Amino acid sequence: MMSHPTNSLTFALNTRKQLLALAVGLALAPAVNAQAPSEPKAERSIEVIEVSATRQTENLQDVPIAVTALSANELEKMQILDLGDLESHVPNLNLHVGDASNAVIYIRGVGQIDSISFNDPGVGVYLDDVYMGRVQGSFLDVVDPQQIEVLRGPQGTLYGRNTIGGAVKFTSAKPTDITEGYVDVGVGNYGLLNLKGSISGALVEDKLLGRFAIASSKRDGYAENTLTGEDDYDKDTLAWRGSLLYQISDNLSAYLVVDGSDSSPNHSRTPHRETPIYSMSQGQMLPPGDDPFTVNVNYNDLESLETAGGALTLEYLRGNSTFKSISAYRQMDYRTHLDLDGTADGSFGIYNFEDQDQLSQEFQWLYNTEGMSLVSGVYYFKEDDSTLGGAVAPDFFVPLGEGVYFPFPVMSAGLRDQTNTSSAIYANLSWDLTPELGLTLGARYTKEKKQVSSRGEEFAGTGINSAEEMERVFGTGVGHSPSGYDAEQSWNNFSPKLSLDYKLNADHLLYASTSRGFKSGGFNGRLTSFAQPFDPETMWSYEVGSKSMLNNDNVRLNLAAFYNDYKNFQLSRFSIDPDSGAFLSLFENAGKATIYGAEMELSAVLTDSLTLNMNAGYLGGGYDELIGDFDQEISDERELVNAPKWNGRLGLEYFMELDSGSLNWSVSASYRSKTYLTVSSSEVLAQSAYTLMDMSVTYLTNDEQWQVSLYANNLTDKHYRQHGFDLSASPGVQLGYYGAPRTYGANLKYRF
């Protein structure tokens, strides 16, 4: 429920006092520092980051690909609590939660905005080397991480599943041989309560290590539903992970990770109505509201997402070779009601009930000698997905023109059973042609197959009035107007990679590469009357870059520029059948695009107390060809989705030693230029340029056992859209999903 006004006022006054105390503390910082020793106790330096982007542990600066890596320490300092918080820390990354708890991830203008399971993600998410097949369940909370890596550009010669736009790789913290752990408690506005804990240690000395982590996060909603008086976009999640590392012998080890999560807020996330919509019950147009965090809806009463999985990695070392087996199983159960008319009417309620499970097996051979390394493997992936979805829209209508609307109640259900299989063989060979010049050759051959059985029924006029009732009687003869099809299709693809890197010296690396990306085709899962296939996407990506450590390793500067030739890209759009006037949901290969850009990442120790972190991204290009309604060429009328021309972040950290410990202040500003959020390039839903301000202060005791943090995000309380639905074709409304308003809180952490 929303807070009582008196309680809200008290909380606001207390908060103002806290912020005032924080401001005073900042103002007194120079005086406190003057009392500290004139020389810092420890010299500040750029953190050395080891990455496994190439499936082998290497220094970030020695890897000739565009990758951003954030260690557990950096993730904590920057208050990165879920994958969405990564967005401003990686150039040319757009990452947010979509309309149906789905991870919407775009890298360099390549991704997938659709939330339904019939198409593959454009950017892959990996959890401990395991590809996650669905966008639901991929918007991960950051629980007990080792680090997160974001790889930009096509991936396929190093990773199990091919991804055309890039990869987000989450690596969880591994068991340790000493007993250690932590407890973390966080509170904040909107009733936020976060609880995290982890414990790790040896179960059998020198043989068996274990680790267990658990996290709970609850808060009230950011928005109020004036129809019910309850809040909207609340959170209630529980996630856990356990791992065992068994050193069977000096050469053989087994690593088992199991995890689970349960997200069950009281309500689904409701979009804000940005344009007027007709109301059948009131017989008039309803204007949009002014406050994006006030809604008035009747179909947001269900949101449940449960995931579970396990992965077993066997690793055998023999001479210069490492043999790996990665066996994994995951499952996901998702149920939601979504109000996509944005009113108290039943004009366009959508439901989605999805059960998915996946099995993957990967065998790898890694070979390393002086001046040469090989990553090679075979990969198999099978996914079964059953989705029942449709509309609960008793107040749906058809516009006849001149302000006349014809009632057309809709109560529909579509059941789609889909089996996806993917098998591949890949290799990536790197060797030093000279001490300075290196060459990498990679290749992947992929075979994918999709089998679909789709059935549809209508229930209007049968007395059935809920999604749950339709689920119960589907296929029993209660419904009418049955439709359906069975279809299958296979695709083969060969994706090569060529890269050259040159070491100017130990601190400077130059590289150039070209690679081909691939994403398989499929069948439009929103249609049940006929099979609408779509073809695979392909993209040639060309990249040049440099990685440098400067000023006695006090400055890290990484640069990249790229050019992408993108063909057959898959787009979802909504239209009207020109013959019948019926609403159409289309998913098709719409054309070609050229995308080019540049990226910069900079970390610099300016003084013993002051560190600068900065990144910037630029995106240019656009559609070369785009086919719209009635086969019209409309490339000049459309802009790329989730591809702002400019994006970047500037952050400053101030570190100060005290007698009892240390203080770390952080302040940052992130910027994104105008961003189009829909395929239609709706100007109503386009988000204009905006800047977000964040800050935090952390105190750590000398023994590093106790840590206290205060933080505030979106300090100026900026209202900004992250996601949109253009349903102007039918039922005639445009909807916007907004990012979080101003949030603030405190964390207390104890390590042992």
Question: How buried is residue 327: exposed, middle or buried, by Cβ count under 10 Å (0-12/13-18/19+)?
Answer: middle
**Which tokens is 499 given?**
């890269």
pLDDT tens by residue, 128-163: 999 999 999 899 999 999 999 999 999 989 878 889
The confidence score (pLDDT) of residue 54 equals 62
**Is 92 within the bounds of a domain?**
yes
- The DSSP secondary-structure symbol of 702 reads T
Contact of 616 with 644, CB cutoff 8 Å: no
Length of the chain as a residue count = 752
Q: Which residues contact 131 (CB under 8 A, 6 or more apart)?
A: 124, 125, 159, 160, 161, 360, 381
Average pLDDT, the chain: 91
> Where residue 627 falls among pLDDT bands split at 50, 70, 90?
confident
429 located within any domain: no
Give me the pLDDT at residue 35, please.
37
In this structure, the number of other CB atoms found within 10 A of the CB of residue 163 comes to 28
Give the domain range for residue 500.
36-418+444-751
Beta-carbon-side half-sphere exposure of residue 60 (alpha carbons within 13 Å): 23
Kind and range of the H or E element at 16?
helix 5-27
pLDDT for position 402: 87
Other C-beta atoms lying within 10 Å of the C-beta of residue 616: 17
* Domain CATH number, residue 482: 2.40.170.20
Residue 43 confidence (pLDDT) above 60: no
Copy the structure tokens of residue 685.
């839903």
Q: Measure CA of the first residue to CA of the last residue in the chain; give whole Å.
A: 37
Structural domain total, the chain: 1
Q: What is the DSSP string of 486-536?
A: EEEEEEEEEEEEEEEEEEEETTEEEEEEEEEEEE--EE-TT--SS--EEPP
Q: Indicate the pairing of strand 690-701 with strand 661-672.
A: antiparallel
DSSP string covering 416-482:
EEEEEEEEEEEEEEEEESSSSEEEEEEEEEEEEEEEEEEEEEE-TTTT--SHHHHHHHTTTT-SEEE
For residue range 672-716, list pLDDT tens digits in order: 999 999 999 999 999 999 999 999 999 999 999 999 999 999 999
Report the half-sphere exposure of 13 (CA within 13 A, side-chain side).
5
Q: Are 300 and 339 in contact (CB under 8 A)?
A: yes
User: What is the gyration radius of the CA atoms in the chain, in angstroms?
Assistant: 26
Tell me the DSSP string of 531-598. Answer: --EEPPEEEEEEEEEEEEEETTTTEEEEEEEEEEEEEEEEEEEEEE-TTT--EEEEEEEEEEEEEEEE
As a whole number of angstroms, the distance between CA 717 and CA 714 comes to 5
pLDDT band at 588 (very low <50, low <70, confident <90, very high): confident
Question: Model confidence over 380-438: pLDDT tens digits?
Answer: 999 999 999 999 999 999 888 888 999 999 999 999 999 999 999 999 999 999 999 99
Reading the block at residue 108, the tokens are 């360099």
Sheet holding 130-131, edge to edge: 67-71, 145-152, 166-172, 123-127, 130-131
| pLDDT given at position 37 | 40
At residue 201, the 3 state secondary structure works out as: strand
- Cβ atoms of 234 and 740 within 8 Å: the answer is no
User: pLDDT for 331-380, tens place per residue?
Assistant: 999 999 999 999 999 999 999 999 999 999 999 999 999 999 999 999 99
Cα distances (angstroms) measured from residue 484 to each of 273, 359, 453, 458, 523: 33, 28, 8, 12, 13
Q: pLDDT by residue (tens digit) across 600-613?
A: 999 999 999 999 99
Residue 56, pLDDT score: 65
Nearest-angstrom CA–CA distance, 584 and 729: 9
Burial class (CB in 10 A: 0-12, 13-18, 19+), 615: buried
Report residue 430 as tokens.
């790197």
436 lies in some domain: no
Look at residue 17 in the predicted model and tell me its pLDDT. 39
Q: Is the dihedral of CA 733, 734, 735, 738 positive or negative?
A: negative
Whole-number Å distance between alpha carbons of 438 and 415: 52
φ, ψ of residue 35 in degrees (nearest 5): -85, -15
Residues 344/296, Cβ–Cβ less than 8 Å: yes
What distances in angstroms separate CA 651 from CA 324, 556, 692, one per listed residue?
A: 40, 15, 12
User: What confidence score (pLDDT) does residue 1 get?
Assistant: 38
> Is 427 within the bounds of a domain?
no
| Eight-state DSSP code of residue 283 | T
Residue 428 lies in a domain: no
pLDDT at res. 719: 98
Q: What is the pLDDT of residues 5-38, one digit of tens each?
A: 333 333 333 433 333 333 333 333 333 333 334 3
Lowest mean pLDDT among 26-35, 469-478, 737-746: 26-35
For position 118, what pLDDT does the model report? 87
Report how far apart, in Å, the C-alpha atoms of 5 and of each of 9, 14, 191, 485, 740 are: 6, 14, 14, 55, 21
Closest residue by Cα to residue 557 from 88, 106, 91: 91
Do residues 454 and 493 touch, judged by C-beta distance below 8 A?
Answer: no
The one-letter amino acid at 520:
S
Q: Does residue 19 form part of some domain?
A: no
Contact status, residue 647 vs residue 692, Cβ threshold 8 Å = no
Beta strands in 268-409 (DSSP E): 272-273, 277-279, 284-286, 294-295, 303-318, 321-339, 349-369, 372-393, 397-401, 404-407
Give the mean model confidence (pLDDT) for residues 98-110.
Answer: 94
Q: Average pLDDT, stretch 628-637?
A: 83
Task: Tell me if residue 67 falls in helix, strand or coil.
Answer: strand
Cα 156 to Cα 162: distance, rounded to the nearest angstrom: 4
Q: Give phi and psi for 251, each to the nearest 5.
A: -110, -10
Report d(CA 142, CA 137) in Å as an integer: 13
30 belongs to a structural domain: no
C-alpha dist (Å) from residue 78 to 85, 88, 93, 194, 235: 9, 11, 17, 16, 21
Q: Any idea which residue has 């994958």 for tokens?
A: 83
pLDDT band at 183 (very low <50, low <70, confident <90, very high): very high
What pLDDT is recorded for position 585? 76
**Tens of pLDDT, residues 487-528:** 999 999 999 999 999 999 999 999 999 999 999 999 998 888
Among the listed ranges 237-251, 266-280, 445-459, 630-644, which one has the minimum average pLDDT value?
630-644
Strands 294-295 and 303-318: unpaired
Can you tell me the distance from the alpha carbon of 752 to that of 747, in angstroms, rounded to the nearest whole number? 17
Tell me the pTM: 0.91
For 683, other C-beta atoms within 10 Å of its C-beta total: 11
Residue 706 forms part of a structural domain: yes
Is the distance from CB of 564 to CB of 539 less than 8 angstroms?
yes
* 204 class by beta-carbon count within 10 Å (0-12 exposed, 13-18 middle, 19+ buried): exposed
| Alpha carbons 232 and 291: distance in angstroms, whole number | 13
